[in-house]
């Protein structure tokens, strides 16, 4: 039941207003004889609409409106001021204090009721929208938590040290990474789903599930990615959904000390060692063409070498003036001698201040270094935010 607060220092006027507005169905009427009393009532029981006289002894209507609006919880209460005041400067002052509408005294009953009905309906819609937004924020928070659990929290594989970080532009996003070890080969993947939010997060979960199932039966990276592409192409209705996936995949062989790499339209990867090798795309992103075979490249990956993977959300960060963080600035930070955790930390320490903490895309990085340490001493550390 909507609650209407009638504020006027004249009891006769208050009674007249109450009689006139009582014709509105299912309405609760509360009254106050001055501005201070009105503020006290609003603090205790928030009304759905306030009819406020301007000229009152003590605290007048303008000051009462100003006091009510000081509380952010009362920012959306519709306030109509009623007055015999003809000085338009007073009207402007009332609107600047936070009033929403004005009815001139003596008023027409039909006009008052029509304005009240409009503002009550708007207030109801505002409350409904606020509740839906709160529910949506809760669902996004839960989805973000679930998504964070899909990313590796801790992985261990002998002979390697690694670190990773992921930060979504919104509460949920579409970037993901992973790494797994079958004893002979360590496989690493970094992927970027087009778009943001729930649709990207859902496709991320689907893509990761398909990737896992294919990796178990298709050890060849090119064969695995080609089949993943066919499945995604069919799932995305042959491009009609305007979504796609970029992906970088690496397989490091312990026996040969080499790294096999392919990139489906993904951001460049970097192999750091005696010199820095840049590994660019070896084919288009996934979902554009149903049948395509990606090339693989093989490079040495001796002890001490580091593979650095990222999504384009890093290089496409923008400064307040619109300048891109860029590949050149990134490469200046990629020091081969740094452990993976320090390497990623160094990039973050430069990237986030550069964009003042405002992401324009989801952002992920993963660095893995061959150490040839004893089994059990290596850990995979990551940060998900």
Beta carbons within 8 Å of 129's beta carbon, 6+ residues apart:
none
Contact yes or no for 258/300 (Cβ under 8 A): yes
User: Which of 315, 293, 300, 309 shows the shortest CA–CA distance to 370?
Assistant: 300
> What structural domains does the chain harbor?
3-138 (3.40.50.2300), 153-384 (3.60.40.10)
d(C-alpha 119, C-alpha 64), whole Å:
19
**Secondary structure element (H or E) that encloses residue 306, with its range:** strand 306-310
d(C-alpha 296, C-alpha 221), whole Å:
8
Contact yes or no for 338/304 (Cβ under 8 A): no
Question: Chain-wide mean pLDDT for the chain?
Answer: 87
What angle is formed at CA 95 by the lines to CA 94 and CA 101, rounded to 5 degrees?
105
**Secondary structure element (H or E) that encloses residue 134, with its range:** helix 109-150
Least confident of 47-61, 147-161, 187-201, 268-282: 147-161
pTM above 0.75, yes or no: no
Phi, psi of 40 (to 5 degrees): -65, -40
d(C-alpha 167, C-alpha 361), whole Å:
9
Alpha helix (H) residue ranges in 151-240: 197-215, 221-235
d(C-alpha 110, C-alpha 20), whole Å:
9
Q: Is the peptide bond before 326 cis (omega within 30 degrees of 0)?
A: no
The answer on pLDDT for 116 being more than 70 is: yes
The answer on pLDDT for 343 being more than 90 is: yes
Over 317-359, what HEC string results?
CECCCCCECHHHHHHCCCCCCCCHHHHHHHHHHHHHHHCCCCC
d(C-alpha 133, C-alpha 139), whole Å:
10
Phi, psi of 223 (to 5 degrees): -65, -45
d(C-alpha 204, C-alpha 185), whole Å:
24
Contact yes or no for 248/189 (Cβ under 8 A): yes
The first and second tokens of residue 43, run together, are 């603090």
The answer on pLDDT for 304 being more than 60 is: yes
Q: DSSP class of residue 286? A: B
The answer on pLDDT for 384 being more than 80 is: no
Task: Work out the percent of the chain whose per-residue pLDDT is above 90.
Answer: 51
The answer on pLDDT for 378 being more than 50 is: no
Q: DSSP class of residue 283? A: B
109-150 vs 197-215: helix crossing angle, rounded to 10: 20
Rg (CA), the chain: 31
- Binned at pLDDT 50, 70 and 90, residue 237 comes out as confident
Question: Could you tell me the strand order of the sheet in which 363-370 lies?
Answer: 154-155, 380-384, 160-167, 363-370, 306-310, 269-272, 276-279
d(C-alpha 61, C-alpha 289), whole Å:
67
The first and second tokens of residue 90, run together, are 């007073």
The answer on pLDDT for 385 being more than 50 is: no
Q: Measure Cα distances from 6 to 3, 154, 278 in Å.
A: 10, 62, 72
Task: Work out the percent of the chain whose per-residue pLDDT is above 70.
Answer: 91
Per-residue model confidence (pLDDT) at position 239: 60
The answer on pLDDT for 341 being more than 80 is: yes
Per-residue model confidence (pLDDT) at position 379: 41
d(C-alpha 295, C-alpha 225), whole Å:
10
Per-residue model confidence (pLDDT) at position 26: 79
């Amino acid at each position: 039941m909507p609650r209407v607060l009638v504020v006027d220092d004249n009891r006769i006027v208050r009674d007249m207003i109450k009689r006139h507005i009582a014709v509105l169905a299912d309405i609760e009427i509360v009254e106050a004889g001055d501005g201070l009393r009105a503020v006290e009532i609003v603090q205790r029981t928030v009304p759905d609409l306030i009819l406020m006289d301007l000229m009152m002894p003590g605290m007048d209507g303008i000051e009462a409106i100003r006091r009510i609006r000081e509380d952010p919880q009362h920012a959306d209460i519709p306030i109509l001021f009623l007055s015999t005041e003809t000085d338009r400067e007073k009207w402007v002052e009332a609107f600047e204090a936070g009033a929403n509408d004005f009815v001139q005294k003596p008023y027409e009953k039909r006009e008052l009721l029509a304005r009240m009905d409009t503002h009550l309906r708007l207030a109801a819609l505002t409350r409904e929208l606020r509740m839906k937004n709160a529910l949506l924020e809760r669902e996004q928070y839960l989805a973000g938590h679930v998504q964070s659990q899909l990313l590796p929290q801790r992985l261990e594989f002998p002979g390697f040290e690694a670190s990773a970080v992921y930060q979504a532009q919104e509460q949920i996003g579409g970037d993901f990474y992973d790494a797994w070890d079958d004893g002979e080969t360590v496989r690493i993947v970094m992927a970027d789903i087009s778009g943001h939010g729930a649709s990207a997060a859902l496709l991320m979960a689907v893509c990761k599930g398909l990737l896992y199932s294919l990796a178990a039966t298709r050890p060849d990276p090119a064969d695995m990615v080609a089949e993943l592409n066919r499945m995604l192409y069919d799932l995305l209705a042959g491009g009609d959904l305007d979504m796609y996936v970029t992906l970088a995949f690496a397989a490091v062989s312990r026996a040969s000390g080499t790294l096999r790499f392919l990139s489906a339209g993904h951001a460049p990867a970097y192999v750091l060692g005696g010199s820095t090798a840049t590994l660019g795309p070896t084919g288009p992103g996934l979902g554009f063409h149903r049948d395509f075979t990606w090339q693989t490249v093989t490079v040495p990956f001796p002890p001490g070498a580091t593979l650095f993977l990222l999504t384009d959300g890093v290089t496409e960060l923008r400064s307040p003036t619109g300048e891109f963080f860029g590949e050149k600035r990134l490469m200046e930070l990629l020091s081969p001698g740094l452990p993976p955790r320090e390497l990623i930390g160094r990039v973050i320490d430069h990237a986030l201040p550069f964009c003042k903490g405002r992401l324009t895309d989801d952002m992920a990085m993963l660095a893995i270094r061959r150490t040839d340490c004893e089994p059990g001493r290596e850990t995979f550390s990551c940060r998900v935010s």
